[in-house]
Homo-oligomer: A and B are copies of this chain.
Amino acid sequence: MRIALAQLNPTIGALDDNAKKIKKCRDRAMEGGAELVVFSELALSGYPPRDLLGYNKFLDREREIIVEELMPLTVGPGPAILIGAAHRRGSRLYNGAFLLDNGLIKSIHLKTLLPYFDVFDESRYFTRCTDRQIEMIGDLPVAVTVCEDIWNDMEYFTDPLYDIDPLEGLFAGGARLLINLSASPYHLGKHALREDMLPFLSRKYNTAVIYLNQVGGNDDLVFDGSSLVYNDRGELFYRAAGFKEELFYIDTEDLYRPVKNIVPPDEDDTGTIMKVLRLGLKDYAAKTGFEKAVLGLSGGVDSAVTAALAVEALGSRNVLGLMMPSPYSSGHSVEDAVALAKNLGIEYRIIEIDKPFNSFLDLLNEGTEPYVDVAEENLQARIRGNIVMHIANREKFLPLVAGNKSELAVGYCTLYGDMAGGLAVIADLSKTKVYELAGYFNSYHGREVIPRNTITKAPSAELRPDQKDQDSLPPYEILDPILEMYMEKNLTAAEIAEKGYEQETVEEVIAMVTRSEFKRYQAAPGLRVTPRAFGPGWRMPIARG
């Protein structure tokens, strides 16, 4: 049997646009001779539709598309359709996989395991369903599952999140093919995890596995596609494109014989991070209606890497860099930023902030002498934020935030200043990772894109004379691992200190994280890269002891 797999990039909530794309794919699948065409989890609404699921009319329209537009396509010679969509039964909502065949809904397979950790809120919307049955597709007994339902193997995971594993019953019943409709957002390490867990299932149950993932950026989340197909020996038969759409075909007979060329598992590297951020930025701009982006270029590595990513995503003609030196900017700042702009081939403007800065000081200092306090540091950052926003508002640019995760974590950033903008591109990259990405750009392009001086000089906010990050913060090679252990491993100060870090430093870092929660509450959405990003997956009280 020939199956077409559609790894698509939906726009959240755009039911009709997504349906159009789905129907086109189905037409191509028919031409390609497919007997079945498969779409990913919640393919019509896109994932995650969030509180749009609370609107009955939205669900009505989704169902209408299935019944009136997709179902009729399965009358006659075309392929059957397997597609993820919400399913209402009484007042309960389920996350389902609809099999449409012969002009009918042949069956609906409802999701059992509803993720509610990290960025996921499925139990907010859906009811779990434990009724499952094997689906005969052609002559094949198939286990049709939705995303999380395959992620609770009691042997594979030492500490499974749920008490039941829906696969057990399905494979006890004799399934020989596992089809999983997914919408699995990327984070570092996920490729390796998938390419370890899926062949485990394949070998455990002697089953072929088709894992179909969504692709595309949706606010903070980037879905990487990278759909996978394994034969019944756990050998990788096919890996679909990462970070772009693809329609591909599988002849199921091929899945029950050895794979000729064994491909090693896909490991994540700095190039993967570049692809995540490029797609996340590209899609955020496209899906919110922007063609162009603007950002401040300080001469530092964060804005340099953000600008380079913007060029990757939108093209050099669509990126504008603003150099906004203040009285405290070092001589090389503008130079380095101009060098970057020239390397990238982007437009830039130099706008000195002295005049507005001085007019604020006139107003606020009852004279003109700077206090050189935190208020004035923030003021400079906010004047820059104003200028970026002004140009963005007037000329219809998407304003980008260039802050990294290390500074966002400890609050080494100014609300409404350098934090101002529509999308925080590298907000989930530690400073260490930002440097890695800077190096990657230069070797990837085989030339100096990020100026050498930007990479080698000591990081500085340049908001007071001779300021350096390391005056206020531990060195990044100490700060970054502490933050990672605190955020990703949920270790406390004592536990981190046991790993060889100074207790006092660790406590101060964690105190800074706690104190700056109010800033992150108001931060722009940041593209997620790590297993634990700020944003919807980090829910901390602000006012706390």
Chain A interfacial positions (CB closer than 8 Å to B)? 11-18, 46, 48-52, 54-58, 91, 116-117, 121, 123-124, 159, 217-219, 283-284, 287-288, 351-353, 355-356, 358-360, 362-364, 371, 373-376, 378-379, 382-383, 385-387, 389-391, 393-394, 415-416, 420, 422, 490, 492, 494-495, 518, 521-525, 536, 538-545
Sample (27) of A-B pairs whose CB atoms are under 8 Å apart: A11-B543, A11-B545, A12-B543, A14-B544, A16-B545, A54-B490, A116-B116, A121-B539, A217-B543, A219-B541, A219-B543, A283-B543, A351-B363, A351-B364, A355-B363, A356-B356, A360-B390, A363-B387, A373-B393, A375-B394, A378-B389, A379-B386, A385-B416, A386-B416, A416-B416, A416-B420, A525-B542
- Complex: A394 Cα to B382 Cα, angstroms: 15
Q: Which of B116, B358, B385, B495 contacts A123 (CB 8 A)?
A: B116
Contact across chains for B390 and A378 when beta carbons are under 8 A apart: yes
Residues in B neighbouring A117, C-beta threshold 8 A: 124
Min CB distance A417 to B, Å, is 9
Q: Which of A12, A359, A422 has the most CB of B within 10 A?
A: A359
Contact across chains for A386 and B373 when beta carbons are under 8 A apart: no
Contact across chains for A12 and B525 when beta carbons are under 8 A apart: no
Residues in B neighbouring A46, C-beta threshold 8 A: 544
Contact across chains for B356 and A363 when beta carbons are under 8 A apart: yes
Min CB distance A475 to B, Å, is 25
- Complex: A447 Cα to B87 Cα, angstroms: 57
Q: Which of A49, A353, A378 has the most CB of B within 10 A?
A: A378
Min CB distance A101 to B, Å, is 28
Residues in B neighbouring A364, C-beta threshold 8 A: 351, 387, 390-391
Contact across chains for A57 and B524 when beta carbons are under 8 A apart: no
Contact across chains for A518 and B422 when beta carbons are under 8 A apart: yes
| Contact A544 B283, CB 8 Å, known A522-B522, A522-B523 | no
A486 nearest in chain B by CB position: B55
Min CB distance A43 to B, Å, is 14
Question: What would 16 more interface pairs be, CB under 8 Å, given A121-B121, A375-B389?
Answer: A13-B541, A17-B545, A50-B540, A55-B490, A116-B121, A219-B543, A287-B543, A288-B518, A351-B363, A356-B356, A363-B387, A374-B394, A378-B389, A382-B386, A415-B420, A416-B416
Residues in B neighbouring A123, C-beta threshold 8 A: 116, 123
Residues in B neighbouring A522, C-beta threshold 8 A: 522-524
Min CB distance A323 to B, Å, is 13
Q: Which of A117, A390, A422, A490 has the most CB of B within 10 A?
A: A390
| Contact A13 B544, CB 8 Å, known A386-B379, A393-B374 | yes
Contact across chains for B91 and A159 when beta carbons are under 8 A apart: yes
- Complex: A115 Cα to B371 Cα, angstroms: 50
